[in-house]
């Protein structure tokens, strides 16, 4: 089978990560790399050690000159709509970085254009592709009898400098979507409504709110509570959060790093004692962006829909938008994708 030809847009930090992932995938050939700052592409090509990759300044030209099988969009969020819309109009499938678009209206439009053009649009929600998160999901479905209560704690204290320290709502807008998406993934449920409060501790080095507390209702009545901060020095959690899930047959925890564990009631034990289970990492299609790429390539070859296809991913984006609205209004808000 011939290689699928790819155009990569964006040559920042994530663009380089994508160039490496594309180079490592045996089914794919990166033919052109685009950035408005072409010197970034030239530096990236050297740093990653690529050859035979055309440098382009504009994605429209790259599409015209290369007629690729797909585009990876790793440009800035403000450019996602324009790039994806143009590709979908041309019938070129897109694997885009999160967030799907800069605004929810744009995201809805893109889902509609994907439908209208019958062209695949997938968002690379890379933190879903984690062998231990998948093991935690399996523990819940196989041993807890489902989940009625789910909790994630995210506490870190990075000094990024740059746009994150200047933007409004950095935690909810730039990071929480990963945890919200993981909550949907492990529970297998969809969000219904949210009550959220975001705030900025007085010692915060961010201009916008760097902390948030949110409580979601999920389909089936389960509750997902999220507590997070990007200005929480000391005893930091993993970037993948620290989790607890509670179901009718027991509880499971995952510290976001090691193997997840569960304690499951023995039949007739009536709450006392329990069987301890440690889950080994699960088999998935690949780690992080390599996994999202592998599923995307499989979809192009077989038509099998990837789990972060745009109709699914917009639900995680909707959780962020509803949490922001709840915090602004002080009211519980429906989550509508
Ligand atoms: N999934 C993750 O874990 C993760 C981590 C970091 C960033 N991201 C996402 O990846 C994307 C890129 O982030 P980054 O950190 O690499 O940003 P960056 O600012 O370092 O790089 C973005 C690049 O896009 C280029 N660009 C902007 N508009 C363009 C256009 N119209 N055409 C071509 N190039 C254009 C810029 O010149 C810049 O070089 C963002 O959407 C970000 O949210 C995801």
The residue whose CB lies within 8 Å of the most ligand 1 atoms, and thus the one to mutate among 11, 41, 76, 110, is 76
CA distance 211 to 329: 17
The residue whose CB lies within 8 Å of the most ligand 1 atoms, and thus the one to mutate among 10, 82, 162, is 10
Ligand 1 pocket: which residues have CB below 6 Å?
A: 9-15, 34-37, 40, 59, 74-77, 79, 97-98, 126
- Tell me how far CA of residue 229 lies from CA of 40, 46, 157, 276, in angstroms: 32, 37, 8, 31
Contact 75, 9 (CB under 8 A): yes
Question: Which residue CA neighbors atom 41 of ligand 1 most closely?
Answer: 77
Q: What is the CA radius of gyration of the chain?
A: 21
Q: What is the pTM of this model?
A: 0.95
All structural domains of the chain, each given as residue ranges with its CATH number in brackets, are: 4-119 (3.40.50.720), 130-283+318-334 (3.30.360.10)
CA distance 212 to 226: 8
Q: What are the pLDDT tens digits along the chain (337 aa)?
A: 789 999 999 999 999 999 999 999 999 999 999 999 999 999 999 999 999 999 999 999 999 999 999 999 999 999 999 999 999 999 999 999 999 999 999 999 999 999 999 999 999 999 999 999 999 999 999 999 999 999 999 999 999 998 899 999 999 999 999 999 999 999 999 999 999 999 999 999 999 999 999 999 999 999 999 999 999 999 999 999 999 999 999 999 999 999 999 999 877 666 666 899 999 999 999 999 999 999 999 999 999 999 999 999 999 999 999 999 999 999 999 999 8
Going from the Cα of 221 to the center of ligand 1, the distance in angstroms, rounded, reads: 37
């Amino acid at each position: 089978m011939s290689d699928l030809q790819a155009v990569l847009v964006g040559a920042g930090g994530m663009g380089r990560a994508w160039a490496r992932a594309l180079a490592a995938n045996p089914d794919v050939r990166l033919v052109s790399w685009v950035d408005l700052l072409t010197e970034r592409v030239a530096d990236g090509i050297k740093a990653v050690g690529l050859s035979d990759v055309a440098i382009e300044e504009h994605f429209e030209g790259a599409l015209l000159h290369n007629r690729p099988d797909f585009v990876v969009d790793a440009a800035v969020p403000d450019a996602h709509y324009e790039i994806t819309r143009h590709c979908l109009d041309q019938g070129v499938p897109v694997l885009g970085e999160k967030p799907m678009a800069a605004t929810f209206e744009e995201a809805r439009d893109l889902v509609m254009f994907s439908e209208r053009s019958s062209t695949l649009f997938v968002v690379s929600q890379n933190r879903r592709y984690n062998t231990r998160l998948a093991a935690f999901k399996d523990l819940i479905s196989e041993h807890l009898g489902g989940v009625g209560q789910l909790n994630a704690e995210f506490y870190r204290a990075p000094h990024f400098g740059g746009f994150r320290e200047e933007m409004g709502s950095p935690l909810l807008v730039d990071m929480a979507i990963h945890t919200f998406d993981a909550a949907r993934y492990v529970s297998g449920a969809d969000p219904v409504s949210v009550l959220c409060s975001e705030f900025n501790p007085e010692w915060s080095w961010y201009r916008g709110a760097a902390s948030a507390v949110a409580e979601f209702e999920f389909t089936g009545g389960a509750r997902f509570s999220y507590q997070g901060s990007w200005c929480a020095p000391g005893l930091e959690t993993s970037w993948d959060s620290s989790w607890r899930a509670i179901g009718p047959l027991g509880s499971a925890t995952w510290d976001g790093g090691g193997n997840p564990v569960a304690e499951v009631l023995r039949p007739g034990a009536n709450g006392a004692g329990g069987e301890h289970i440690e889950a080994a990492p699960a088999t998935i299609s690949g780690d992080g962006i390599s996994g999202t790429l592998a599923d995307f390539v499989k979809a192009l070859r077989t038509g099998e829909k990837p789990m972060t296809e745009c109709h699914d991913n917009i639900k995680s984006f909707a959780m962020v938008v509803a949490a922001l609205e709840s915090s602004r209004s002080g009211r519980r808000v429906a989550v509508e994708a």
